[in-house]
Amino acid sequence: MPIKKVMKANEAAAWAAKLAKPKVIAAFPITPSTLVPEKISEFIADGELDAEFIKVESEHSAISACVGASAAGVRTFTATASQGLALMHEILFIAAGMRLPIVIAVGNRSLSAPINIWNDWQDSISERDTGWIQFYAENNQEALDLIIAAYKAAEDERVLLPAMVGFDAFILTHTVEPVEIPDQEVVDEFLGEYVPKHAYVDPKRPITQGSLGFPAHYMETRYKVWEAMENAREVIKEVFDKFEKTFGRRYHIIEEYKTDDAEIVLVTMGSLAGTVKEFVDKKREEGVKIGAAKITVYRPFPIEEIRALAKKTKVLALLEKDISFSVGGAVFADTSRALINEKEKPIILDFILGLGGRDVTFQNLEEVVDIAKKALEEGVKEEVYWIGLRKEIL
Amino acid sequence: MEIPENVKKRLSLPFEENFYAGHTACQGCGAALGLRYVLKAYGKKAIFTIPACCSTIIAGPWPYSAFNAPLFHTAFETTGAVISGIEAALKAKGYKVKGEDGIMVIGWAGDGGTADIGLQALSGFLERGHDGLYIMYDNEAYMNTGIQRSSSTPYGAWTTNTPGGKKHFLERRHKKKVIDIVIAHKIPYAATASVAFPEDFMKKLKKAQKIPGPSFIQLFAPCPTGWRSPTDKSIEIARLAVQTAYFPLFEYENGKYKINMPSTKKEPKPIEEFLKLQGRFKYMSKDDIEVLQKWVLHEWEELKKKAEVFG
């Protein structure tokens, strides 16, 4: 029987890793993710997890060691955040290009400068073009579940791409919630063992991996990653279906909330979705036709789901904790791409908020709704808004 | 041509070739020779990890490979970390790694990829005690990118970013003693070797296989292209590097230093003999040569002392 424990998202991630039984874990401490490998060390120390733990000297080496281990044919795991993920950047491309289904737990944190250890999504959002699947968790249960789902999707032969699962720094990483821990046998059954057939370092098979690809071949390898990411759309749906059947919890690529007759839909990710849903309830009581949508799978970007959502509403208001300077948020850019050739499309507005751990309050969301209403009545004046800026200190 | 078995047995190096003709090294390349010897030593027991360097090219572009062994290409600075991961995974899968007949997890990186950008990952690999072998093939500059100085480039050398010129802008720093940094990790086995002394190299490769824990070999590997030397002089230059004590052959085994033949044999030859075959040193003044000579002899004395005290 599954048991319920009160735990932080970091612990939930460690539990997920334990349940997935990676053979090699390589990790380096960084706030707010340090507790993940710490907890895993305890599992190993207590004989509850049989894995090699490589205590590397940097995140760059953490992901490099995972690349080596995954290429040698075993399931691998690491956890990081912020600067650590940024330090991994070049190797993230290699992991995807070599089609190694590594899974990273990311405690989503801002990037320096200035130094800031609190939550936003700039770290993983900045890795959106590396060829990694990206999931964002709303709560600690999702952190655990999505890591298990991530392995299932990443290791699927139609995909074979690495995956990262983001959960918000401190808001989730350091906050306790009740989390249901599935039974080991059920997870074993769900995931199976990772047995790569495509390419792996094996003394019995002298093959070369990752060699120089001339212009005559390079582009096709990139196309194969594109194709794999396209395949991931369907595979993730299948994984979520099977997940529900196995564990009883339903996940959606985009989770919609009270969107059916909504004139304004607030679209967001991560733990902010919880706040937004509550806010929607409040506004509904006031008679405002408003809904919410949570993007659980950010890569592959849910183009069809965004189009379906767009058909239902007049304003898509994106609430983002990331910024691509001179453009707006990355989700805004992606959403615009999804709708660019649609004949009928809603107004798309982008709201940058909550950077570096700034609280997102109902007052902020009221401001968002006011701007959205105004755009609906008077037309769009600007696309990108910074919400909650302390103008007095600028 | 078929070689009789009894002749094969008398050869000083294994007969079997696992590094094939058709590789893309320059003529007279020391690194290519080194790879050939390593593949001879371990045969199919070797798993190579190679960062972005000359050897990436030498091995051949997709879909070709000159290696009859698993070969994993990785990013410039990651060799130490990747071999750590491979070793851990093979162990988890139940393979015997290192030891008699054990699988050799080998990192094969140049001096830039080791002494400079890969130093941190190397240190991690050594410090954590992985069962692997890291070979730094030392051609004393970034050759693959077009002959830029590395921290392993010697005093007085011309490179494309120490080009001599009117202001006498040559390399002004002495060669970094990477092996001393390695030994500071107190690993069980570290050694220098040279492509001019393949039997000695082979012996060290075998030792590295038997001794558990991390091993490190710094292999002197001439680069005619970067050293502006005749392609048929690579072995002679490598031999002179040893004979002048510029690159002495020695081992560090479980805390003990041992200077190997022929470095023990005679008093070092003058450094000019090593320098004069190479165009990269042609801008050196007499004073420059004196500076280098003094350094070489000082380092040689230091090594002899170490072998004397900790022999």
Which chain B residues are closer than 8 Å to A64 by Cβ?
74-75, 78, 81-82, 85, 121
Q: Tens digits of per-residue pLDDT, A172-216?
A: 999 999 999 999 999 999 999 999 987 678 888 888 999 999 999
pLDDT band of residue B166 (cuts 50, 70, 90) is confident
Query: A347-352 and A177-181 as β-strands: parallel, antiparallel, unpaired?
Result: unpaired
- Chain A interface residues facing chain B, Cβ-Cβ under 8 Å? 23-24, 26, 51-52, 54-58, 60-62, 64-74, 76, 90-91, 94, 201-203, 205-214, 217
State the CB neighbour count (10 A cutoff) for residue B188.
17
Q: How large is the ipTM? A: 0.96
Which chain A residues are closer than 8 Å to B74 by Cβ?
64, 67-68, 94, 210
Q: Are B154 and B174 contacting, i.e. CB atoms less than 8 angstroms apart?
A: yes
* pLDDT mean over B40-66: 94
B10 domain-assigned: no
Is pLDDT larger for residue A345 or for residue B8?
A345
Q: Closest approach of chain B CAs to the CA of A185, in angstroms? A: 21
Q: What is the percentage of chain A residues whose pLDDT exceeds 70?
A: 100
Q: Closest approach of chain B CAs to the CA of A120, in angstroms? A: 29
* pLDDT mean over B173-180: 98
Determine the pLDDT at residue B101: 87
pLDDT band of residue B262 (cuts 50, 70, 90) is confident
- Residues with Cβ within 8 Å of B33's Cβ and at least 6 positions away in sequence, in order, are B195, B198, B221, B234
* pLDDT mean over A230-240: 98
Determine the pLDDT at residue A201: 84
Q: What is the mean pLDDT of chain B?
A: 95
Indicate the Cα dihedral angle B96, B98, B103, B108, nearest 10°.
150
B8 domain-assigned: no
Q: Are A255 and A267 contacting, i.e. CB atoms less than 8 angstroms apart?
A: no
pLDDT band of residue A347 (cuts 50, 70, 90) is very high
Closest CB to B82: pick one of A58, A65, A212: A65
B129 domain-assigned: yes
B13 domain-assigned: no
Query: A52-55 and A76-80 as β-strands: parallel, antiparallel, unpaired?
Result: unpaired
* pLDDT mean over B139-153: 97
B3 domain-assigned: no
Determine the pLDDT at residue A375: 98
Cβ–Cβ gap B70/A206 under 8 Å: yes
Cβ–Cβ gap B71/A91 under 8 Å: no
B131 domain-assigned: yes
What CATH number is associated with residue B145?
Answer: 3.40.50.970
- CA of A388: how far to CAs of A113, A230, A363, A367, B278, in Å? 20, 37, 9, 9, 67
What's the domain count of chain B? 1
> B50 has which bridge partners?
B73
- Quote the CA–CA distance of B228 and B159 in Å, as a whole number: 10
B12 domain-assigned: no
Determine the pLDDT at residue B34: 98
pLDDT band of residue A169 (cuts 50, 70, 90) is very high
Residue B251 has pLDDT above 80, yes or no: yes
Q: What is the percentage of chain B residues whose pLDDT exceeds 90?
A: 89
DSSP B55-118: HHHHH-STT--SBSS-EEEE-TT-HHHHHHHHHHHHHHTT--BSSTT-BEEEEEEEHIIIIITT
* pLDDT mean over B237-242: 98
- CA of B98: how far to CAs of A19, B69, B166, in Å? 31, 16, 53
Cβ–Cβ gap B62/A213 under 8 Å: yes
Q: Tens digits of per-residue pLDDT, B188-236?
A: 999 999 999 999 999 999 999 999 999 999 999 999 999 999 999 999 9
* pLDDT mean over B94-120: 96
Determine the pLDDT at residue B104: 97
Task: Work out how many CB contacts closer than 8 A connect A with B.
Answer: 159
* pLDDT mean over B259-270: 86
Q: Tens digits of per-residue pLDDT, A97-149?
A: 999 999 999 999 999 999 999 999 999 999 999 999 999 999 999 999 999 99
Q: Is A375 helix (H, G, I), strand (E, B) or coil?
A: helix
Q: In chain A, helix, strand, coil percent, each to 5?
A: 45, 20, 40
pLDDT band of residue B1 (cuts 50, 70, 90) is low
Residue B263 has pLDDT above 80, yes or no: no
Identify whether A2 is preceded by a cis peptide bond (ω within 30 of 0): no
Cβ–Cβ gap A205/B70 under 8 Å: yes
Q: Are B125 and B80 contacting, i.e. CB atoms less than 8 angstroms apart?
A: yes
- Quote the CA–CA distance of A393 and B21 in Å, as a whole number: 69
Q: Are A182 and A201 contacting, i.e. CB atoms less than 8 angstroms apart?
A: no
Residue B171 has pLDDT above 70, yes or no: yes
- Looking up tokens 């693959």 gives B144
Domains of chain A are 3-247 (3.40.50.970), 254-393 (3.40.50.920)
Among chain B residues, CA nearest to A62: B81
Q: In chain B, helix, strand, coil percent, each to 5?
A: 40, 15, 45
B11 domain-assigned: no
DSSP A34-103: THHHHHHHHHHHTTSS--EEEE-SSHHHHHHHHHHHHHTT--EEEEE-HHHHHHHHHHHHHHHHTT---E
Q: What is the mean pLDDT of chain A?
A: 97
- Written as six digits, the tokens of B275 are 């320098």
Determine the pLDDT at residue A230: 98
Q: Which domain holds residue B163?
A: 25-309
Which chain A residues are closer than 8 Å to B72 by Cβ?
68, 71, 201, 208-210
Query: B189-194 and A103-108 as β-strands: parallel, antiparallel, unpaired?
Result: unpaired
Q: Closest approach of chain A CAs to the CA of B174, in angstroms? A: 28
Determine the pLDDT at residue A206: 87
Q: Are A262 and A159 contacting, i.e. CB atoms less than 8 angstroms apart?
A: no
